Amino acid sequence: MKIAFIVESCLTGVGSHVCIICNNLAKNHEVHLLYSSARADASFQKELLHFSNIGVRLQEIQMSRNINLVSDWKTIQAISNYMRENGPFDIIHCHSSKAGVTGRIASILNGMSHKTLYTPNGLATLSTEAVGFKALLIWLAELLLGYLACQKVIAVSQDEQAYMLKTFKFNSNKVKVIENGISLPRPSHPRQVIRQELGIPDDALVFGFTGRLTYQKNPELLLTAFHNLNHPQSYLLFVGTGELLDSLKQTTNPRVIFTGERTDVPNLLNVFDVFVLPSRYEGLSLSAMEAMAAAL
């Protein structure tokens, strides 16, 4: 089959999710990946090099996370042109909100909406960050495109499916649950070596977070809770980057460590004693699954 994946959020959970699917399907199918580099982390960039070697056809598309009618229309045109020049496709699979909107509209323009799937990876309508007209616009887009522009909506958990059925009144046949999966984390260095690298004593109690430092993930709550804990032998480790990094780093607590973006997350999980995920909302967190697989 000829399959096209479209994704804007090419980092951490969504990026990993798309890469796992592409890697497996590329063994037996012709896979096309339309992506934006604006929010692509080092792990995703590394996967792009691998994809080039295994025959995945790559096409960078300019996409903006924020709503902008002019730039969004240009994105729709670029995706539509690619579909027309390289199609027809047997399956078009859109991931995350922005690619979900632009990709599904492009599929309508090319008469392929009946071949289109959409995986929100955590619906934008769950966020309290968007208010007023913006929140209404997001809700309408999810509702209308869910009915008019895709064959199936993929929920990554039972809870996400229940939310979609209740919020958008979709037919139960419209929403299919395919739970997330991960590759088992395997640390390449002993726990003590990484702790020494980070300046953490062997006998310290380490709380850890992995993921994007964004409003959705709510890292401020974790930082506040750690300060209130007042445990002199404890450390807090933030693994990841994002728009809240600079404000979080204003803390003067020397036992709070920010690693920035890392490609050796299994090594960092091996350092943790307790994994904490303070998110405001999630679909089915890959970070939490990786932490569970690491016996945290």
pLDDT in tens, 3-46: 999 999 888 888 888 999 999 999 999 999 999 998 888 889 98
Q: Which tens digit of pLDDT belongs to each residue from 40-88?
A: 888 899 899 999 999 999 999 999 888 888 999 999 999 999 999 998 9
pLDDT of residue 120: 92
Compare 219 and 186 and report the one with higher pLDDT: 219
pLDDT of residue 89: 96
What is the arithmetic mean of pLDDT over 154-173?
Answer: 92
pLDDT of residue 122: 83
Separation CA 213–CA 250 (nearest Å)? 14
The first and second tokens of residue 281, run together, are: 């909302």
pLDDT of residue 183: 77
Neighbouring-strand partners of residue 256: 236
Smallest CA-to-CA distance from 222 within 288, 275, 284, 290 is with: 275
Residue 170 neighbours by CB under 8 Å, 6+ apart: 146, 147, 153, 164
pLDDT of residue 128: 74
pLDDT of residue 258: 97
Contact 51, 24 (CB under 8 A): no
The first and second tokens of residue 19, run together, are: 């890469």
Smallest CA-to-CA distance from 259 within 250, 249, 274 is with: 249
Q: CA quadruple 21, 95, 126, 262: dihedral positive or negative?
A: positive
Q: What is the dihedral of CA 49, 51, 54, 56, to 10 degrees?
A: -140
pLDDT of residue 180: 85
> Rounded to 5 degrees, what are φ and ψ at 101?
-75, -55
Q: How many CB atoms lie within 10 A of CB 235?
A: 24
- Single-letter code of the amino acid located at 64: S
Q: How confident is the model at residue 256 (pLDDT cuts 50, 70, 90)?
A: very high
pLDDT of residue 87: 87
pTM beyond 0.75: yes
What is the arithmetic mean of pLDDT over 178-191?
Answer: 86
Q: How confident is the model at residue 276 (pLDDT cuts 50, 70, 90)?
A: very high
Using the 8-state DSSP alphabet, how is residue 177 labeled? Answer: E
Q: How confident is the model at residue 93 (pLDDT cuts 50, 70, 90)?
A: very high
> Rounded to 5 degrees, what are φ and ψ at 30?
-85, 110
pLDDT of residue 56: 96
pLDDT of residue 1: 95
Smallest CA-to-CA distance from 47 within 94, 11, 98 is with: 11
Place of tokens 């004593």: 201
pLDDT of residue 131: 79
Q: Which tens digit of pLDDT belongs to each residue from 206-247?
A: 999 999 999 999 999 999 999 999 899 999 999 999 999 999
Helix and strand element counts for the chain (H, E): 11, 11
Separation CA 4–CA 10 (nearest Å)? 15
Q: How many CB atoms lie within 10 A of CB 70?
A: 8
Separation CA 200–CA 282 (nearest Å)? 30
Alpha helices, H only, 110-157? 132-148
